[in-house]
């Protein structure tokens, strides 16, 4: 399969180059030349397959031409070597809990898959170390760092804003050591992202070292997220609930929902998608007006969605050939403020005993408000509520139990390097490693 850039100036790129580069030279995002449709027979019996079997079939459809079958199978099975997502029904709405992996957020699958695929290509291609730069507001850093921990030939630099990630999130990438370095930037998430982007386009740096991105601009990170949608469908089919499926995705950079749109292109019978936003409602504004106006993000209690210029919007536009009409036909949107998120989290907990996290709460509320009579709604519960401990405890007025996996991270010693937010300091740091 060849890949082209959403900015259309770069075409015919191999999967290997798309993964190693991350972003195309014209600063567009890579897209596959075509999306293959899976045979009806796959969907007829999908409910009998395990998560790994479903994922391998999907991965083979995307990557089978470019990765040897046994290697791809190993990559998929190692990636998913943890508890599978759980389906939970709350008030006739289905929650697909994607937080049973090592760092308790859905990004584990993309982080683990990408680390292994990149490792596979590096072994074939080069002997030089590849440096992965990743900017995080919390969850991406932990998923990517844990996914890449110990992978030979790769060093990961996690840039995070000083004082702006929760202590639990911070310990998930500052206590690992080995090939993971945490860089604490005296600035905001936007400053971290700007440092990373400047590094990718800096000629001197790129001449000296191999740099790539593990944010969801990388095809190897966002595409594997489509596994979730097929798995969700299989679980609902088992329950006899797979008709008129509406899937609601708490969205920030729009990597996760884009993977869902790819799944639909591959034949997955989803009727409609809903992108649930916090107050950062750039996408909702686009749906309503047809105009895309990025603006600086505002901070909310669903902070993993505090994005003012969602990078994967370029992919959504490209998938629908820029047609606003085609986009609103398939994707709806909502935006909730912090009070609405907190109210939803609290009332769901009081009425049903089910504890949402602030991101999932947006998805749950959207389905409550928007689902039509004959539809079945599934929202992706993107992270474990304990990852946002203080916020959630304040809302429900009770202690939240911290899962053992999270407690383990909290035992380690925190190590990070404090950097100012100017690019020159960051650049000279990289040049001297």
Q: Which residues in this chain contact ligand PLP in the complex, by CB under 6 A?
A: 105, 107, 139, 216, 250-256, 304-305, 359, 382-383
d(CA 281, CA 267): 29
Least Å from the CB of residue 337 to ligand PLP: 17
Q: Pick from 357, 342, 234, 336: which is nearest to 279 by CA?
A: 336
CB of 276 to ligand PLP, least distance (A): 9
Residue of 238, 247, 249 lying closest to 270 (CA atoms): 247
List, as one string, the DSSP characters of 8-69. SS---B-HHHHHHH-S-TTS--EEES--PPPPHHHHHSGGGS-HHHHHHHHHHHHHTTTS-H
3-state secondary structure of 298: coil
DSSP string, 236-271: HHHTT--TTEEEEEE-SSSHHHHHHHHHHHTT----
**Which of residues 305 and 430 has its CB atom nearest to ligand PLP in the complex?**
305
- CB 167 → ligand PLP: shortest distance, Å? 16
Strand order of the β-sheet with 93-97 is: 86-90, 93-97, 376-381, 245-250, 272-277, 331-335
Smallest distance from the beta carbon of 65 to ligand PLP, in angstroms? 26
Nearer to ligand PLP, 215 or 376 (CB): 215
68, 16 contact by CB (below 8 A): no
Query: Does residue 314 contact residue 6 with C-beta atoms inside 8 Å?
Result: yes
Do 173 and 92 touch, CB atoms closer than 8 A? no
> Which residue out of 21, 107, 264, 421 is catalytically annotated?
107
Closer residue to ligand PLP in complex, CB, 224/252: 252
CB closer to ligand PLP, 30 vs 426: 30
Q: What's the rounded Cα separation, in Å, for the pair 164 and 181? A: 18
CB of 338 to ligand PLP, least distance (A): 15
Shortest Cβ 168–ligand PLP spacing (Å): 13
Q: Which is nearer to ligand PLP, 15 or 301 (CB)?
A: 301
- For the bound state, the minimum distance from the C-beta of residue 214 to ligand PLP, rounded and expressed in Å, comes to 13
158: β partners: 134, 182
The yes-or-no answer on residue 407 being catalytic is no
Asked if 35 contacts 261 with a C-beta cutoff of 8 angstroms, the reply is: no
Question: Least distance (Å) from ligand PLP to the CB of residue 409?
Answer: 16
CB 274 within 8 A of CB 283: no
Q: What's the order of all strands across the beta sheet hosting 130-135?
A: 210-213, 130-135, 154-161, 180-185, 417-419
Per the listing, tokens 């001197």 go with 204
Query: Which is closer to ligand PLP, CB of 241 or CB of 365?
Result: 365
Q: Give the gyration radius of the chain's Cα atoms.
A: 20
Rank residues 28 and 138 by Cβ distance to ligand PLP and give the closer one. 138
Cβ distance to ligand PLP smaller for residue 180 or 304 = 304
Active-site positions? Answer: 107
């Amino acid at each position: 399969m060849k890949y082209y850039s959403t900015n259309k100036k770069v075409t015919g790129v191999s999967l290997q180059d798309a993964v190693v580069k991350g972003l195309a030279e014209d600063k567009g995002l890579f897209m596959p030349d075509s999306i293959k449709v899976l045979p009806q027979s796959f969907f007829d019996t999908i409910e009998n397959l395990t998560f790994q079997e479903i994922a391998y079939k999907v991965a083979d459809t995307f990557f089978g031409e470019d990765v040897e079958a046994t290697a791809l199978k190993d990559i998929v099975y190692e990636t998913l070597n943890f508890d599978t997502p759980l389906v939970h029904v709350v008030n006739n709405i289905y929650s697909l809990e994607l937080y049973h992996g090592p760092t308790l957020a859905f990004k584990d699958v993309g982080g683990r898959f990408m680390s292994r695929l990149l490792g596979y290509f590096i072994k074939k291609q080069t002997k030089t170390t590849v440096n992965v730069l990743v900017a995080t507001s919390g969850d991406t850093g932990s998923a990517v760092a844990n996914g890449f921990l110990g992978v030979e030939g790769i060093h990961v630099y996690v840039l995070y804003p000083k004082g702006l990630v929760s202590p639990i999130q911070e310990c998930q990438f500052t206590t690992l050591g080995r090939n993971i370095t945490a860089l604490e930037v005296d600035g905001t998430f936007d400053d971290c992202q700007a440092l990373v982007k400047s590094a990718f386009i800096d000629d001197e740096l790129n001449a000296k070292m191999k740099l790539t991105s593990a944010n969801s601009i990388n095809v190897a990170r966002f595409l594997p997220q489509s596994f979730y949608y097929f798995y969700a469908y299989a679980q609902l089919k088992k329950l006899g609930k797979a008709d008129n499926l509406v899937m609601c995705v708490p969205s920030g950079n729009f990597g996760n929902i884009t993977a869902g749109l790819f799944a639909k292109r591959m034949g997955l019978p989803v009727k409609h998608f809903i992108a649930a936003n916090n107050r950062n409602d750039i996408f909702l504004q686009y749906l309503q007006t047809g105009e895309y106006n990025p603006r600086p993000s505002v901070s909310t209690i669903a902070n993993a969605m505090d994005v003012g210029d969602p990078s994967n919007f370029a992919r959504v536009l490209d998938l629908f050939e820029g047609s606003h009409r085609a986009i609103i036909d398939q994707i709806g949107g909502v935006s909730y403020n912090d009070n609405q998120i907190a109210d939803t989290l609290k009332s769901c907990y009081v009425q049903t005993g089910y504890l949402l996290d602030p991101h999932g709460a947006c998805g749950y509320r959207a389905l409550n408000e928007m689902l039509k009579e004959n539809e079945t709604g599934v929202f992706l519960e993107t992270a474990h509520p304990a990852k946002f401990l203080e916020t959630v405890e304040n809302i429900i007025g009770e202690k939240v139990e911290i899962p053992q996996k999270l407690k383990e991270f909290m035992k380690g010693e925190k190590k990070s390097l404090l950097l100012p937010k100017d690019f020159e300091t960051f650049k000279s740091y990289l040049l001297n490693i």
